[in-house]
């Protein structure tokens, strides 16, 4: 495999079928569909029903689910299902791993960034509410 993707250019190239295959970020719609598909993988869920992003469990869950693996590789690369079925296991796992790395990496880093910005914004609002400026009185 070629070195990992940059967060600014989430593409990873994987050698498969005798060529370099680009593995790209999912579209917004496909990312939401992927998230919903992951929620159906019981091995990834906490007792509360939330997805726990554990790398080993994530790779196991996707690689053990043929339909999910084919869907993910098909949506993130130019490999069609008929060709994917002919690839050796090692190349297929490299494609799945790259697709997960690119897409979960984007999700995790962007959500972390948004979460910290929202936390800072909400902390600022909480400070403003706990220390309100007194409005001018009617007699002033």
Are 35 and 48 a contacting pair, CB within 8 Å?
Answer: no
Q: Give the orientation angle of helix 55-64 with respect to helix 89-130, to 10 degrees.
A: 130
Chain segment 26-59, per-residue pLDDT in tens: 998 999 899 889 888 888 888 888 888 788 888 8
Question: Where does the pLDDT of residue 139 fall: very low under 50, low under 70, confident under 90, or very high at 90 and above?
Answer: low
- Compute the distance between CA of residue 91 and CA of residue 11 in angstroms, rounded to an integer: 17
Give the phi and the psi of residue 48 in degrees, each rounded to 5.
-85, 0
14: confidence class by pLDDT, cuts 50, 70, 90:
very high
pLDDT tens figures, 108-126: 677 677 778 888 888 887 6
Give dist(CA 73, CA 87) in Å, integer. Answer: 12
**Predicted confidence (pLDDT) at residue 5 exceeds the cutoff of 80:** no
């Amino acid at each position: 495999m070629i070195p990992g993707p940059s967060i600014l250019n989430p593409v990873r190239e994987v050698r498969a079928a005798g060529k370099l295959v680009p593995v790209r970020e999912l579209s917004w719609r496909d990312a939401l569909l992927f998230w919903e598909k992951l929620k159906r993988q019981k091995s990834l869920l906490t007792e509360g029903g939330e997805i726990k992003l554990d790398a080993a469990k994530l790779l196991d869950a996707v690689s053990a689910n043929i339909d999910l693996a084919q869907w993910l590789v098909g949506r993130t690369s130019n490999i069609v299902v008929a060709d994917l079925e002919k690839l050796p296991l090692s190349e297929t796992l490299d494609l799945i791993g790259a697709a997960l790395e690119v897409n979960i990496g984007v999700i995790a880093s962007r959500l972390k960034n948004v979460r910290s910005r929202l936390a800072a914004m909400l902390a600022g609002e909480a400070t403003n509410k706990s220390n309100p400026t007194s409005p001018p009185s009617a007699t002033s």
